[in-house]
């Protein structure tokens, strides 16, 4: 199946997302206006937050793509996390607003008017969100963008609630149970609250430089182990992932008699392998003599330093290009 011609930059994706959010909002507001359903009104209210969040994501991605400067030598990537935290907070606020509407609907129930037209419009908006949410999630995972991932998760949560609302609101005219409308709005509020909490939790983890998943750390260690021939060990490995960039540092112990050129070549080989596998990666390797070996971390050679085999002839990796 051929892929859609999407913008190459994350900012371009955010622009498209903002447009899709406006389309979904128009359809859902029309669904509420024609039906008068409280549940569909709650759904439209959540979509307003989608629009605001998409605008915030556009700002964050515009900032995140700025190059490093004197004031931000490590780049502006964390702007994406700020956007995701703000989006999560807006979603939580929306959940309480929807909950209030649900209570009012329970206390003062009114049967929806023209529910079938409203359901049709809401279902169309759900299909639009499903298609775009899956695209955002896939692109966000591929580009390792917290802002796109948060946006995709939010849109997809809107899809599942949309499906539930279509099914639930369909039952109102069939069963004649008017208060079902308020119950559906209440369930929507709970789901929105859950999504907002998850988005905020993941974003705060990124801002706090939480360690990557064990699988990612295992991959990093495996790459270092496979490309460190000639060294004695690598220890104190620390890494953090900020947006699409991986920051990695560790100590590389080499024989004290090894030349600077040879140690530099080993570092180049490790760095090139890490970038080939991890994508955009900033690596800092502190080279130490064998007297600083801890015999922990990744051990390449367990014998005396003077018997450590020399590395093979190292091809030009282009690490310094």
CATH number, position 268: 3.30.70.1350
Count Cβ neighbours within 10 Å for each residue of 208-235 and write b for 16 or more, e otherwise: eeeeeeeeeeeebbebbeebbbbbbbbb
Instruction: Indicate if 200 and 236 belong to the same structural domain.
Output: no
Instruction: Indicate if 199 and 266 belong to the same structural domain.
Output: no
Number of domains in the chain: 2
> Would you give per-residue pLDDT tens digits along the chain (321 residues)?
345 667 767 777 778 888 888 898 899 999 888 888 888 888 888 788 778 777 777 777 677 777 878 887 777 777 777 777 777 777 788 788 778 778 877 887 777 776 788 888 888 998 998 998 888 888 887 877 766 777 787 778 778 777 877 777 788 778 878 888 788 878 878 877 887 777 777 777 777 777 788 888 999 999 999 999 999 999 999 998 776 678 899 999 999 999 999 999 999 999 999 999 887 788 999 999 999 999 889 999 988 888 888 786 444 443 333
Instruction: Indicate if 58 and 201 belong to the same structural domain.
Output: yes
Instruction: Indicate if 222 and 249 belong to the same structural domain.
Output: yes
Instruction: Indicate if 202 and 243 belong to the same structural domain.
Output: no
pLDDT of residue 234: 96
Instruction: Indicate if 277 and 198 belong to the same structural domain.
Output: no
How many residues are listed for the chain in this entry? 321
Side by side, the strands of the sheet bearing 233-242 are 281-289, 245-254, 233-242, 298-299
Q: Of 134, 164, 201, 194, nearest to 43 (Cα)?
A: 164
Instruction: Indicate if 221 and 202 belong to the same structural domain.
Output: no
Instruction: Indicate if 176 and 80 belong to the same structural domain.
Output: yes
| Final residue before a domain boundary, out of 186, 208, 230 | 208
pTM: 0.57
CATH number of the domain encompassing residue 46: 1.20.1510.10
Half-sphere exposure of 225 (CA within 13 A, CB side): 10
Strand intervals (E) in the chain: 233-242, 245-254, 281-289, 298-299
| Final residue before a domain boundary, out of 181, 208, 235 | 208
Q: Is residue 166 part of a domain?
A: yes
Spatial separation of the C-alpha atoms in residues 105 and 177, rounded to whole Å: 13
pLDDT of residue 255: 94
Q: What domain range includes position 70?
A: 10-208
């Amino acid at each position: 199946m051929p892929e859609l011609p999407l913008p190459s930059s994350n900012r371009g994706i955010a622009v498209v997302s903002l447009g899709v959010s406006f389309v979904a909002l128009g359809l859902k507001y029309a669904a509420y206006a024609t039906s008068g359903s409280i549940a569909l009104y709650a759904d439209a209210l959540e979509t307003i937050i989608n629009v605001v969040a998409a605008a915030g994501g556009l700002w964050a991605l515009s900032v995140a793509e700025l190059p490093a400067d004197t004031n931000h030598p490590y780049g502006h990537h964390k702007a994406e996390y700020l956007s995701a935290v703000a989006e999560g907070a807006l979603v939580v606020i929306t959940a309480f607003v929807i909950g209030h509407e649900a209570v009012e609907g329970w206390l003062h129930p009114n049967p929806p008017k023209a529910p079938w037209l409203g359901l049709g419009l809401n279902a169309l908006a759900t299909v639009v969100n499903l298609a775009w949410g899956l695209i955002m999630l896939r692109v966000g995972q591929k580009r390792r963008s917290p802002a796109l991932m948060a946006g995709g998760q939010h849109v997809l949560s809107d899809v599942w609630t949309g499906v539930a609302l279509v099914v639930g609101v369909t039952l109102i005219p069939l069963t004649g149970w008017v208060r079902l409308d308020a119950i559906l709005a209440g369930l929507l509020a709970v789901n929105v609250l859950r999504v907002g909490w998850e988005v905020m939790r993941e974003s705060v983890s990124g801002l706090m430089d939480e360690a990557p998943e064990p699988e990612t750390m295992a991959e990093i260690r495996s790459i270092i182990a496979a490309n460190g021939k000639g060294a004695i060990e690598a220890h104190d490995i620390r890494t953090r992932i900020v947006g699409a960039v991986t920051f990695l540092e560790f100590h590389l112990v080499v024989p004290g008699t090894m030349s600077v050129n040879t140690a530099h070549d080993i570092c180049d080989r490790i760095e090139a392998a890490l970038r080939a596998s991890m994508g955009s990666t900033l690596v800092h390797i502190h080279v130490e003599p064998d007297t600083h070996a801890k015999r922990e971390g990744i051990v390449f050679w367990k014998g005396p330093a003077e018997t450590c085999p020399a590395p093979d002839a190292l091809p030009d990796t282009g690490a310094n290009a």
